[in-house]
């Protein structure tokens, strides 16, 4: 959700008004509730209904959530919709990530392509310029999810993951073992990975927030440059992300990102900031695929879908809760106060990556 979000619904008699950071942050919180609920429920839903049905079913529910946002109704309706979106998006991300991570052939490249598509900021910027039709952006989102749901059902046809893997002659399917959630929670590696993703997704949000200074509505294009950089990074830098160099590559990406963030912090030039933030996106982009691919080497394969859901859900929940706090700081001290915090968060990523185990998980 961009910091320049404008809410014009809810029957305001005096016309449109611009929401403050604190008000908009409520949507982050609602999104976080959805993501966190999904992290807790993902294992149960997958075991009960199966991979294919959960994946396609959540896509259908998400269509309804986006339709709720199109009329720009009361703010409370938007909060409910964002809670549903958070839940369904987290389930789909967990299922897709767990499935790709379980593949034996070219999983690193496939992970990069899976998480390499970001089109929303560029499209959203065009609608944000229209005080009357800004919410029509969600028609595009709903339309994309109609296509998404149709493709998911066509490809997987509601089948369980182990059935799909067997048909594709890939033995990476999850085992049907009991008490998966408790087994998952006992793994310290899962919590290290979750905390890394929490900080990583949070940095994504705060970099785009931090670039709103002095750019009016066109600052949305800076966000587009950032997410475009993420997309290119996850595709063009795949050759650097392969083992054993992926661990060193992530350290390099983080150090270079810190240097660029310092220039954004100190150089008060919108053009320089726009270029720098796009390159930061390019460098941050490969980090999540690297992390998820590394998780397949240190976590038991039969828990991968559940672990992927927990890691992604915890990270997204944190990325919603923490911006709520920093948005309050931005409201009081200004956007510029966030840039030093972004630098400290990227530095934290370096520390976390250093302590995440390198060795493969050995079951007891």
- Looking at per-residue pLDDT, the higher value among 200 and 123 belongs to 200
Q: What is the pLDDT of residues 258-304, one digit of tens each?
A: 999 888 888 878 788 888 888 998 998 888 888 888 887 888 877 77
Closest CA to 339 of 143, 208, 190: 208
**For residues 225-242, average pLDDT:** 77
Rounded (10°) angle between helices 219-236 and 107-114 = 170
Q: How far apart are CA 290 and CA 282, in angstroms?
A: 14
Q: φ, ψ for residue 143 (rounded to 5)?
A: -65, -40
pLDDT of residue 65: 92
Question: In CATH, what number does 21-355 get?
Answer: 1.20.1250.20
pLDDT of residue 257: 92
- Asked if 193 contacts 309 with a C-beta cutoff of 8 angstroms, the reply is no
What is the rounded end-to-end Cα distance, in angstroms, of the chain?
A: 43
Q: What is the pLDDT of residues 153-190, one digit of tens each?
A: 888 888 887 777 776 555 544 455 556 777 888 888 88
pLDDT of residue 15: 35
Q: How far apart are CA 250 and CA 256, in angstroms?
A: 10
- Looking at per-residue pLDDT, the higher value among 167 and 246 belongs to 246
pLDDT of residue 129: 65
Which range, of 63-72, 109-118, 189-198, 298-307, averages the lowest pLDDT? Answer: 109-118
- Note the helical H segments in the chain: 21-49, 51-69, 75-102, 107-114, 120-128, 137-156, 161-167, 180-185, 188-210, 219-236, 246-266, 270-284, 287-298, 304-333, 339-355
CB proximity list for 69: less than 8 A, separation 6 or greater: 77, 78, 81, 135, 138
- Asked if 291 contacts 115 with a C-beta cutoff of 8 angstroms, the reply is no
Confidence band (pLDDT; 50, 70, 90) for 350?
A: very high
C-alpha distances in Å from residue 304, one per residue of 67, 186, 218, 362: 32, 14, 41, 14
Structure tokens at 358: 């390198």
Beta-carbon count within 10 A of 76 CB: 11
DSSP designation for 357 = -
- Asked if 4 contacts 219 with a C-beta cutoff of 8 angstroms, the reply is yes
Which of 146-155, 165-174, 210-219, 243-252 has the highest mean predicted lDDT (pLDDT)? Answer: 146-155
Q: How far apart are CA 86 and CA 345, in angstroms?
A: 23
- Asked if 352 contacts 195 with a C-beta cutoff of 8 angstroms, the reply is yes
- Looking at per-residue pLDDT, the higher value among 44 and 219 belongs to 44
Q: What is the pLDDT of residues 145-158, one digit of tens each?
A: 899 889 888 888 88
Whether the predicted pLDDT of 124 surpasses 80:
no
Q: How far apart are CA 34 and CA 280, in angstroms?
A: 28
**For residues 24-39, average pLDDT:** 78
Whether the predicted pLDDT of 358 surpasses 70:
yes
CB proximity list for 23: less than 8 A, separation 6 or greater: 7, 75
């Amino acid at each position: 959700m961009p910091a320049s979000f404008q809410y014009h619904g809810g029957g305001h008699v005096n016309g449109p008004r611009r929401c403050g950071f604190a008000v908009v942050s409520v949507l982050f919180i609602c999104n976080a509730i959805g993501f966190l609920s999904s992290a807790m429920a993902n294992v149960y839903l997958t075991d009960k209904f199966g991979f294919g049905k959960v994946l396609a079913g959540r896509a259908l529910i998400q269509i309804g959530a986006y339709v709720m946002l199109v009329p720009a109704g009361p703010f409370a309706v938007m909060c409910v919709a964002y809670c549903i979106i958070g839940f369904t998006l987290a389930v789909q991300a967990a299922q897709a990530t767990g499935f790709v991570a379980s593949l034996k052939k070219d999983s690193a490249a496939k992970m990069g392509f899976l998480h390499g598509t970001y089109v929303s900021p560029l499209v959203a910027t065009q609608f944000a310029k229209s005080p009357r039709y800004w919410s029509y952006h969600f028609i595009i989102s709903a339309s994309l999810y109609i296509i998404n749901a149709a493709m998911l059902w066509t490809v997987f046809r509601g089948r369980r993951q182990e059935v799909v893997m067997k048909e594709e002659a890939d033995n990476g399917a999850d085992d049907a073992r009991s008490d998966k959630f408790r087994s998952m929670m006992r793994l310290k590696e899962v919590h290290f990975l979750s905390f890394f993703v929490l900080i990583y997704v949070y940095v994504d949000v705060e970099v785009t927030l931090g670039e709103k200074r002095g750019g009016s509505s066109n600052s949305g294009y800076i966000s587009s440059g950032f997410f475009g950089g993420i997309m290119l990074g996850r595709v063009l830098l795949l050759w650097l992300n392969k083992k054993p160099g992926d661990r060193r590559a992530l350290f390099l990406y983080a150090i270079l990102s810190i240097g660029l963030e310092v220039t954004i912090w100190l150089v008060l030039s919108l053009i320089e900031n726009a270029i720098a933030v796009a390159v930061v996106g390019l460098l941050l982009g490969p980090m999540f695929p690297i992390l998820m691919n590394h998780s397949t080497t240190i976590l038991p394969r039969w828990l991968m879908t559940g672990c992927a859901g927990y890691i992604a859900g915890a990270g997204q929940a944190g990325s919603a809760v923490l911006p709520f706090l920093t948005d309050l700081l931005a409201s009081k001290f200004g956007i510029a106060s966030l840039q030093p915090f972004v630098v400290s968060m990227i530095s934290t990523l370096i520390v976390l990556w250093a302590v995440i185990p390198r060795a493969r998980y050995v079951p007891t």
